[in-house]
Amino acid sequence: MKNIGWNFDNSYTLLPKQLISKVLPTTVKNPNIIIINHSLAQQLGLNFSSLNNNQLARLFTGNDIPEGSDPLAQAYAGHQFGHLVILGDGRAIVLGEHITPTKQRYDIQFKGSGRTPYSRGGDGKAALGPMLREYIISEAMYHLNIKTTRSLAVATTGENVMRETVLPGAILTRVAESHIRVGTFEYVAIKRDIPTLKKLLQYSIERHYPEIKDLDKQAPEFLKLVLEKQIDLITDWMRVGFIHGVMNTDNMAISGESIDFGPCAFMDYYNPKTVFSSIDHHGRYAFGNQPSIAQWNLARLADAILPLLDEDQNKAIDVGEEIIHSFKEKYEKKFHKMMKKKLGLITDEADDVILIQELLDTMEKNNLDYTNTFRDLMNDKINNEALKNFHAKWKIRIDKQNRSHEEVLTLMRNVNPVVIPRNHKVEESLKEAHKGNLVSLNNLLNALKDPYTERSDLTLYQQPAHETDKKYKTFCGT
């Protein structure tokens, strides 16, 4: 294959062998390229201009393996809906770690590339719809300035996969700072393999948190840093109304990236109990539960690295509990700060927390759109009577801080998106893509590229579905 800029350095393969299985992607019959993220490719220092569509299709389905790559599937465990199970990359293969011209390290991973030792009876394949959904959502998250894995390409395989119906098979190429999860640490902890646990911790620190690599007691600081990253991430999810859908510990990356966009969606009408996932029957991962679930997941990370927090088990428990218990106060401070920005509140007032809660209650009681409500406040475009009452109080509070109108609007514009990937527009683009028509998909992606700027061409993408989306369901795609 022509040199297109790949620069692989596969450090994860140097970890103990129980963490990995060397495996090649399954060759596919008739690969076809659907979409390539050229702007991401440029950021990675890759140039595909010398490859024709057939070569691109072979590259992004694994029929041609890049020189220097060392494909592997990762082992990990995970608490799925609270129950611990042994897992692993059942339909994903990390090609290797690509080093960019600016010396940044990224995993290049295929999803849907065939069976691995962790497939547990599954076919290891993926359908076109879920792979395009991840492409759309991950790119939307990136442009919303939320830490996330990215999508480099989607290609079809020319083969069908059997789910509820027969669907076209596809492979997504995902780019991540790494695929080390809370569940990766749980996997080692289950086996009571302290030497491997130490090596995994050291590797994770060197890769993601090198600022603490020379400290004597690294494990507590590692836990604190992962906790801070997750607080930042969840705060951003709550800022834009994103619902992950399956916040299992195997879906929490220690890098702090959003990862594994399966039954995820964006909330239209504000309700903290909103659930879109077809498998979340009891609302464990509802919108409003995401902060507490993040804390629960972090507690599982603390459990996994307990032997490394302190040699004395009782002290280790105290250290872990102190760090995990700090989550609530830290999150509430960041959430409050974020919501103040959404409302253009620059100065501090004791009653701000009451004002914020009043708005959330008003939106919930009146079935108001989460995204558009904040834009309506900014534009003084209030049609709902209940919101008019809040608007009057909010204007008094805004005037009280004695800041310019433009300063307030600038603050609000930076955190309140004009457009999000509305569920019905995502489904519309996926439906058309299955027919071979990519116009809706490309139009949606273009609309999501600059989500904080008002544009006349965004009107179609700003409105919630005509009928309530409470019945809307998303699926894992496995």
What lies within 8 Å, CB to CB, of 366 at 6+ separation is 384, 386, 387
Q: Is 250 a catalytic residue?
A: yes
Question: Please, what's the b/e burial string for 357-393 (b: 16 or more CB within 10 A of its CB; e: otherwise)?
Answer: eebbebbbeeebbbbbbbbbbbeeebebeebeebbee
Catalytic residue among 89, 107, 236, 250: 250
Contacts of residue 304, defined as CB under 8 A and 6 or more positions apart, other chains included, come to 182, 185, 186, 188, 189, 197
**Which residue shows structure tokens 């439906």?**
431
Amino acid letter, 75? A
CA dist., res. 201 & res. 19, Å (int): 13
What gap in Å lies between CA 318 and CA 311, rounded to an integer? 12
20 — phi, psi (to 5°)?
Answer: -140, 160
Residue of 246, 242, 96 lying closest to 175 (CA atoms)? 96
The half-sphere exposure of 343 on its side-chain side, counting CA atoms within 13 A, is 28
Element (H, E) at 409: helix 405-413
Q: Beta partners for 85?
A: 78
Q: Quick one: tokens of 142?
A: 């990136």
Give the phi and the psi of residue 314 in degrees, each rounded to 5: -65, -40
CA–CA dist 423, 421 (Å, integer): 6
Phi/psi of residue 31, nearest 5 degrees: -65, 145
Residue 113, Cβ neighbours under 10 Å: how many? Answer: 30
Q: What is the distance between the alpha carbons of residues 327 and 294, in angstroms, rounded to a whole number?
A: 9
Backbone angles phi, psi at 245, to 5 degrees: 100, -40
User: What are the backbone dihedrals phi and psi of residue 342, each rounded to the nearest 5 degrees, phi first?
Assistant: -60, -30
What residues are labeled active site? Answer: 250
